Amino acid sequence: DTGVSQDPRHKITKRGQNVTFRCDPISEHNRLYWYRQTLGQGPEFLTYFQNEAQLEKSRLLSDRFSAERPKGSFSTLEIQRTEQGDSAMYLCASSSWDRVDGYTFGSGTRLTVV
């Protein structure tokens, strides 16, 4: 297993466009998390899945954001009508439900909205 993979690594988009990111977790991990990190801040929790169920959403996840994890495998995070404030690093992490110190992060997708 090569760890948590995120695609693309970088995305530049024009304001108002939609973007979609993909995360492939470690195969035996049943929890998958999305975080956002802006300059000078630590990662901020957005949402998480246990298997295919989305169990929690942060207030940071506006209605322009949607995440899915069909069949409990890979996950996608879509941002509709992007705004400049959406520019950030989007990090995905996976873990087993009972091993919080086994959280493994991907390398992230850097989004720039121009």
Partner 1 sequence: DQQVKQNSPSLSVQEGRISILNCDYTNSMFDYFLWYKKYPAEGPTFLISISSIKDKNEDGRFTVFLNKSAKHLSLHIVPSQPGDSAVYFCAAVGSQGNLIFGKGTKLSVKP
Give kind and range of the element (H or E) at residue 67.
strand 65-68
Q: What is the total count of residues that contact partner 1 (CB under 8 A)?
A: 26
User: Quick one: 3 or 16, whose CB is closer to partner 1?
Assistant: 3
Provide the minimum distance between the beta carbon of 86 and partner 1 in the complex, in angstroms, as a whole number. Answer: 19
The b-or-e profile of 40-67 (16+ CB within 10 A means b, else e) is eeebeebbbbeeeebeebeeebeeebeb
Residue whose token pair is 């959403």 = 57
Instruction: Please report whether residue 106 would count as binding partner 1 according to CB under 8 A.
Output: yes
Instruction: Please report whether residue 108 would count as binding partner 1 according to CB under 8 A.
Output: yes
Instruction: Please report whether residue 74 would count as binding partner 1 according to CB under 8 A.
Output: no
Instruction: Please report whether residue 78 would count as binding partner 1 according to CB under 8 A.
Output: no
CA distance 93 to 97: 12
Site string for partner 1, 29-68 (x = CB under 8 A): --x-x-x----xxxxxx--x------xx------------
Rg (CA), the chain: 13
User: Quick one: 30 or 66, whose CB is closer to partner 1?
Assistant: 30
Task: Report the residue from 4, 32, 67, 88 that binds partner 1 according to the rule CB under 8 A.
Answer: 4
Q: Per the structure block, which two tokens stand in for 22? A: 């993909």
